[in-house]
Chains A and B, each alone.
Chain A
Amino acid sequence: MITLPAGAERNPRLAALAAQANAWPNTQIGVGVVSLNVVDAAVEIAQEHDVSLMLIASRRQIDSEELGGGYVDGLTPERLAARVRPRDARDRVLLCRDHGGPWQGANGGAPASPEQAMDEARDSFFADLDAGFDLLHIDTSVCPGTDTDDGPQRRLLELYDACWTQAREGGHHIAFEVGDEEQSSVTEGLEQPRRLLQTLREYRRDADAPPPLFVVVQTGTKVMERRNVGSLSAPYRIDGQMPPQIHLPQVMALVREFGTHLRQHNTDYLPTEILEWHPLLGIHAANIAPEYGIEETLGLLAVMEGRGAGDLSQRFLQLAFDTRKWEKWQLEGSDGTDRDRAIWAGHYVFSTPEFAEIRAELLTRVSLTSEELDRLLIDRIKASILRHIRAFRLVP
C-alpha cells in the first residue's frame, strides 16, 4: 500500500504507481539507468505489460549539461526525458533521481568545497525538475572531508527545502526519497533513520512540506562482484547482525510510524525465492541497477565470442578493465579473474569513442545492423527485468 503525499496525485505517473501498488501486494521496481539499452528495455516493458516502473539515474550516470553529463551517453535529464516521454503514452515510466546530493556527481579532480558541492547538488536537482522528473532521492551521506554528526541531516534539510520550494513555485508535482546511509551488507540499527525522519518531520511541520514518499533503510543487501553478499539472502546468521526476519518488521514499523514507505537499494542478484517474498514482507520498492548493465555486457560478449569476433571481445574487456571501475565491486580476497573484473565494469565504457569503434567493427564483421544488435541486447535485458517484475508480483 502506498499513500501519496498531498498534491503528488496530480502527477499522472505517481498516481499510476500508487494505484498499481494498492491493487494487491506487490513491490515497485526501480531500474538503474546504466545504459541506453536498459532505458529502452524498461520503457518497452512498461508499455507491453502496462506496468509502472521507476527509471533511477544517479548523477554519475546522468547529470545536467553544466555539470558535465554522465557516463550514459552524455545524457542530461532533459535528453533522458526526451527519449522516454514520447514512448510512454501510458504514463508508466517515472523518471527518478537516484542518490542526488553533494559530492555525488561524476566530476573528476579535487573534491569540491562544501559550498560548491551544495550549489552543484541544488543545480542538478533543479535541472531534474526542469526536465519533468517525478521523484528526487536526496542522499547527503557523502562528504570527502571531516563531517559533523549532524552534517548529513543538515544538508538534507537544506536541499529538501530548496527542492520543495522550487517545485512548488514551478508547479511540479513531485515526490521525494530520503536516506543518508551508504550501502551496507548489515542490518544496521534504526536509530539513524529514525533520527532523520524525526528531524524531517519537525522541518515539514514548519515548512508545510510533504513527507518523503520513500525512505532508504538498510535491510541487509549489498552488491559485490556479481553477488548479493548481504544478510537478507544469507541462509545463516551473520555474526553481529540482526536476522532479517526480525529486522524487517522493525523497519516496516518505523516507516509506518512516519507515514512513509521503504525503498530497498542494492537488490541486484537476489535469488528469485527471496525476491518473491518482497511483496509479502511489505517492502514497498526495490532498486536494481548493475545487474542489468552486466546482463548487457554478457549479451555483447555472447555476440562477439559466438560469432567469431573473439578479438573484439578481448579489446572490449581490456577497455573495461583499464577503467578500474571494477575496483569498487571487488570483494576483499576475491578469486575473480581479470575477465570477471572487466565484466563488472563493462557498462561504464558503452559511451566511449573506443567502444564505438569496437561496436562498429563488430557490426561489419557479424553482419548485424545497429538496430539488430540493440534488439538482441534489449531482449536480453528485458528478460532480466521481467524476472524481477514477476517476482515482485507487478505482473501475473
Chain B
Amino acid sequence: MRRRVAIVILSRNLPHAVDRLVSTFRRYDLEETDIYVVEAGTDRDKLSEHHTTWASWDEAMREGLRPARGFNLGVMELIRSGRLQDYDFLFLVRATVQLDGPVVTRLLDQMEAHPQVGIISPCGETWPEQDLVGPDSLRYVWHINHHAWMLRRCFVDLIIDHQGTDHGPIFDGSNFRSYGTDTELIVKGYINDYATALSTACSLREDQELLKTRADLIRTDPYDINARKVFDEGFQWMRRKYGFTTRLQFQEYARLWYDRFFVLHPSLAPYRLLPEEAPVS
C-alpha cells in the first residue's frame, strides 16, 4: 500500500523526543507514513537511531539549522532522491512537540474533506483558539506558528523554489532563526488559493520546559537571548524583504490575503475563525 505522508522530524540533540514521536507515529499512523528525521547539527552521540539525514558540516554543528533551513534540508533530500512526488502530503514536525493518538490519520481526514486547505496544524492544548474552533473541527486562520504542519504536496509543488539553493525550497532560509517564515508560507498559500487550517481533531503540546530551561541540551542560547535574536533577525528580514517596519504590518498583509480567499470562496465562510469584520470605525 502506498504511503501518502512523508513525516519530516527536525531535531537537535533530542534523541528521546524523536523516539517518542516515532513511536507515536508507528503506533497510530504506520500505514500512511514514511518517517524522515533530520538531525540538524546534532552531536554524534545524540543522534537518533531513526535519523535519515545528519547535517554535520561545521556551521550546522556550530549553529544548528533552525526551522527554516532544517525543514528545507528534509524536503531537499526528498527532492534529490526523487521521492517527493511519491507522497500526497508532508508533515513537518519539530522534535520539541509532543503528539498523541492517530494525529496523521485525523489530519488526513480533514485534508480530504477540505481540498482548499494547503496547510493544517493541530491546535495546541493550551491555545484558547480551541474554543473558537469547537471540538473535532477546523477553522481557517491567517496566523499560527509552525510546530507541526501538514502540507498538501500539490501546494508545495506550486511554491517550491528549485533555484533557491541558499534559501531552500519552501521556507526562506535567509532568515536563519526563522521568525515570520511561517507567516510567509501561510501568505503564499492564500495567494495561491490554499488556506491554512487549525484543527481540533487532534492536539499538540509544546515542551515548554525544554525550550525555556534546557537550551544547553539543544545547544542554543539561553531562552531570552535566543528569543531576542529570533525577533531581531525576523524584524530585519521583514523590513529587507517586504519593507514592513512592524510585525503587525506583516500580519495585516496575511489578513488581506486571508480575506480575499473568502471573497473567492464564499461557501467556505463558515470556516473563518472569526466572523467577517465590519470595517474599522
Contacts and interface: CB of A to CB of B under 8 A. Distances in A.
Interface in B224-281: 227, 231, 234, 245-248, 251-252, 255, 273-275, 277-278, 280-281
B145 A235 contact: no
Nearest to A1: B281
Nearest to B252: A280
B188 interface: no
Contact of A25 (B145, B208, B280): B280
A277 B231 contact: no
B231 A245 contact: no
A242 B132 CA distance: 10
Interface stretch (A92-100, A246-254, A365-373): A246-254
Q: Is the interface of A mostly helix, strand, loop or mixed?
A: loop
Nearest to A247: B128
Contacts of A189: 128, 131
Q: Is the interface of B mostly helix, strand, loop or mixed?
A: loop
Nearest to B232: A235
Nearest to B247: A235
Contacts of B213: none
B130 to A, nearest CB: 10
Contacts of B128: 187, 189, 240-242
A243 B143 contact: yes
Contact of A237 (B145, B179, B245): B145
Contacts of A277: 246, 248
A282 interface: yes
A187 B278 CA distance: 21
B29 interface: no
Contacts of B231: 235-236
B126 interface: yes
Contact of A249 (B127, B234, B274): B274
B77 interface: no
B129 interface: yes
B179 A235 contact: yes
A282 B281 contact: yes
Contact of B132 (A187, A239, A240, A246): A246
A240 B245 CA distance: 28
B201 to A, nearest CB: 20
Interface residues of B, number: 27
A276 B246 CA distance: 10
Contacts of B274: 246, 249-250, 253
A245 B281 CA distance: 17
Nearest to A22: B281
B127 to A, nearest CB: 8
A131 interface: no
B159 to A, nearest CB: 24
A180 B274 CA distance: 26
A240 B129 contact: no
A90 B65 CA distance: 61
A127 interface: no
A277 B179 CA distance: 20
A264 to B, nearest CB: 15
A252 to B, nearest CB: 7
Contacts of B179: 235
Contact of B273 (A239, A246, A282): A246
Nearest to A186: B128
A241 B248 CA distance: 18
Contact of B278 (A237, A242, A256, A273): A256
Nearest to A243: B143
A81 interface: no
Nearest to A237: B145
A240 B227 contact: no
A242 B246 contact: no
Interface string B127-144: 111011000000000010
Interface string B203-238: 000001000000000000000000100010010000
A236 B277 CA distance: 24
Interface in B140-184: 143, 145, 179
Q: Give the interface centre of A242, A246, A280, A282 by most chain B CB atoms within 10 Å.
A: A246
A19 to B, nearest CB: 15
A21 to B, nearest CB: 10
Given A245-B143, A245-B251, A250-B274, A239 B280 contact: no
9 contacts: A235-B231, A240-B126, A242-B129, A245-B143, A245-B248, A246-B143, A246-B273, A253-B278, A273-B246
Interface of B: 126-129, 131-132, 143, 145, 179, 208, 227, 231, 234, 245-248, 251-252, 255, 273-275, 277-278, 280-281
Q: Which 7 A-B pairs have the closest CB atoms?
A: A1-B281, A273-B246, A242-B128, A282-B280, A240-B126, A277-B248, A235-B231
Given A189-B128, A235-B179, A253-B278, 11 more contacts: A1-B281, A236-B145, A237-B127, A245-B143, A245-B251, A253-B274, A273-B245, A273-B246, A274-B248, A277-B246, A282-B280
